[in-house]
Structure 1
Amino acid sequence: MASFRKHANGSWEYRIRYKDRKSNKYKEKSKRGFKTKKEAQLAAAQVEMGIDYYGFVEDGDEKTDTYFENWLEIYKKPNVKPITYSLQERNVRLNILPRWGGYKLKEINRNEYQKWINELRDHYSEGTVRRIHSIMNTALNDAVYEFRILRENPIIRINIPKDKKTNKTIKFFNIEELDKFLNKVKDPQKKRSINIQYSIMRFFLSWHEPDSALAKPWH
């Protein structure tokens, strides 16, 4: 239940006492600086609705570097193969923490994260960026559903820029190159069936040049 107090400077504060479902202990949540009592009441009502629904007040004040240290140790290391853990730990250390380590979890916002993903694509392949995002996304999902320190994951359904399509030229032997190739691989000691396979390949590749010397009966 919320209580309200007016401070000497004229601002209002709300204070909520509730039983936290995670710890089964009573806790308090307060915030001050509201211009009117009505503003404080509206803010408190929103917090109380969240407590009724989730059973806790998310704080998200834990630093991202501290959170990832615990997440890797508690949730990943015992449950994945050593090589998988090594790759995840490396991506966290080299890519995620240099950008987000100084943030509190609640400070990670969708727009800033999407901008970071776009920047990563300038340096890494689509597949690599997807792996980095997968680690971050899984960690924040666990912050919501396992550690219960966030109410929602702000980076779900983030867009990963795809690789740009390029026109690829199909390379193949011309008749002269094919002759050189077949001469190199031809071995009189090989069984005749293998030589026949080469001849069949040579015959069909010659179909696009009907006047070629290769387009003639073979045996």
Structure 2
Amino acid sequence: MANFKRLKSGWRYRLKYTDPFTQQQKEKSERGFRTKPEAELAAAEFLKRIKQGYEQIDKPLVDYIESWIINYKKGDVRKNTLKQHMNNLKTHIKPYFKQLMIKDLKPDMYQKFLDACLEKGLSRRTVEIINSTVYSALELAVIQGKLERNPCIGSIIKGERKQKTIDFIDSEDIPRFLYTARGYGYIYWIFFKVLLETGMRKGEAAALKWSDINFKEKKIHINETLDFQPDNEDELFGETKTFKSKRTISVSTSLINDLKYHASWQNQNKINLGETMYRHDLNLVLCRNDGRPMPKSTLFNAFKRILKRASLDGVLRIHSLRHTYAVLMLEAGADIKFVQEQLGHGSVQITSDVYAHISKKLEKRNIDRYEEYTSKILGSNNFKSGDVWGTPQKN
């Protein structure tokens, strides 16, 4: 039974109810209504939601987010994503909210939290990731009927949005990069050449097995990614980044020939090391001399040194080779849909958005091709010298 009282701030209702989930007696009050009928309507709506399964939870916000990560994210997202959620909780969310109850988190309070994150020097992107952790956890609470409304809705991240840039190696510099890589070390040359000619992520390339290559049809099946820092060897190979990342791509005859040579080179290496010294069970294509996976730090250092020796931009990341592949495909006139499928992007929009302005060559190439095509249809060479527009033709 609800009771109502008129205050200076307006009408207030207060009622007691039994939580349908915990069967505990609880109290609910709300104030600020202009009239008593408005307060009565709000009280009735609240009791109706309780009957429909709305459960108010009296639990610290940080405890709820932690249980969300463990019960709903573990096993559903990649290990790195799981670590990111946990790091957001322990490093940023918990120190700020401490033991604040989830029901006491208000929109204004949450906005101040986001502002505080920016004020202590975190980038806009980092704050966006922190926000996604809190928002997603509380959105589930709303779906489950544990919260009436997500207090994160309506919040804004005020930091300056950085212009998205795409790093890649210019096509004129690729021969110099590969020549330098070959001089640095054969296994690095073949690894980086595969990335350049396929657009694979480094984890996808590092997980590539010989059984994934169809030499006859010149296709490569990408269905796994390597975890460069596994907790144990059973977790060495995992799912690709997204569902679309699991794909079959077409490759050039040149790369197929390189891979055939690499297979012969690797087989000779197996003979030299002996049966017991080589990891035959992994069946990796791009690996150490003994068949073990390539360490991430080794690839990183090799790439950086090769760039320096080749007098190229030293701040480029290995991922820039994926971007470079996309640039080469587009410069060669490949259809954007084909590039999307090769890269494993979720949609054509992602591909076109990311690579829309990456090379002035594309702009020049497109206008050159347009002029070449339209000159045959619209060009002045279709008319004889002396022809005048609109001059009647004599019979």
Q: What TM-score bracket applies, with the shorter chain setting the length?
A: 0.5 to 0.7
- Are 1:14 and 1:44, in contact at CA under 8 Å, matched by a contact in 2? no
Deviation of the 1:30 alpha carbon: 3.8
- Are 2:14 and 2:27, in contact at CA under 8 Å, matched by a contact in 1? yes
2:141 aligned partner, one-letter code? A
- Are 2:60 and 2:102, in contact at CA under 8 Å, matched by a contact in 1? yes
- Are 2:57 and 2:147, in contact at CA under 8 Å, matched by a contact in 1? yes
Task: Tell me which residue corresponds to 1:47.
Answer: 43
Deviations 1:111-136 (A, max 9, x none): 12212211211211111111111111
Task: Tell me which residue corresponds to 2:156.
Answer: 159
- Which of 130, 133, 155 in structure 1 is aligned with 2:131? 133
- Which of 58, 68, 80 in structure 2 is aligned with 1:61? 58
Residues of 1 paired with 2:162 and 2:79: CA distance?
35
5+ residue gaps, structure 1: 5-11, 167-184, 186-219
Task: Tell me which residue corresponds to 2:67.
Answer: 70
Task: Tell me which residue corresponds to 2:253.
Answer: none
- Are 1:51 and 1:57, in contact at CA under 8 Å, matched by a contact in 2? no
Residues of 2 paired with 1:31 and 1:127: CA distance?
38
SS in 2 for 1:121: helix
1:90 aligned partner, one-letter code? N
Residues of 2 paired with 1:73 and 1:135: CA distance?
13
Residues of 1 paired with 2:73 and 2:93: CA distance?
16
Task: Tell me which residue corresponds to 2:109.
Answer: 112
Identity %: 23
SS in 1 for 2:76: coil
Residues of 2 paired with 1:132 and 1:47: CA distance?
35
- Are 2:138 and 2:150, in contact at CA under 8 Å, matched by a contact in 1? yes
Higher-Rg structure is: 1
Residues of 1 paired with 2:54 and 2:84: CA distance?
34
Residues of 2 paired with 1:100 and 1:83: CA distance?
24
Residues of 2 paired with 1:76 and 1:151: CA distance?
22
Structure 2-normalised TM-score? Answer: 0.33
Distance 1:162 1:3, change over 3 A: closer
Instruction: Compare 153-162 and 88-97 and name the one that shifted more.
Output: 153-162
5+ residue gaps, structure 2: 4-12, 164-309, 311-395
Residues of 2 paired with 1:119 and 1:72: CA distance?
23
Deviation of the 1:26 alpha carbon: 6.6
Distance 1:91 1:3, change over 3 A: closer
Instruction: Compare 42-51 and 78-87 and name the one that shifted more.
Output: 42-51
Residues of 2 paired with 1:14 and 1:74: CA distance?
33
Deviation of the 1:17 alpha carbon: 5.7
- Are 1:65 and 1:101, in contact at CA under 8 Å, matched by a contact in 2? yes
Residues of 2 paired with 1:13 and 1:72: CA distance?
35
Task: Tell me which residue corresponds to 1:144.
Answer: 142
Root-mean-square deviation (CA), in Å?
3.7
Deviation of the 1:157 alpha carbon: 2.8
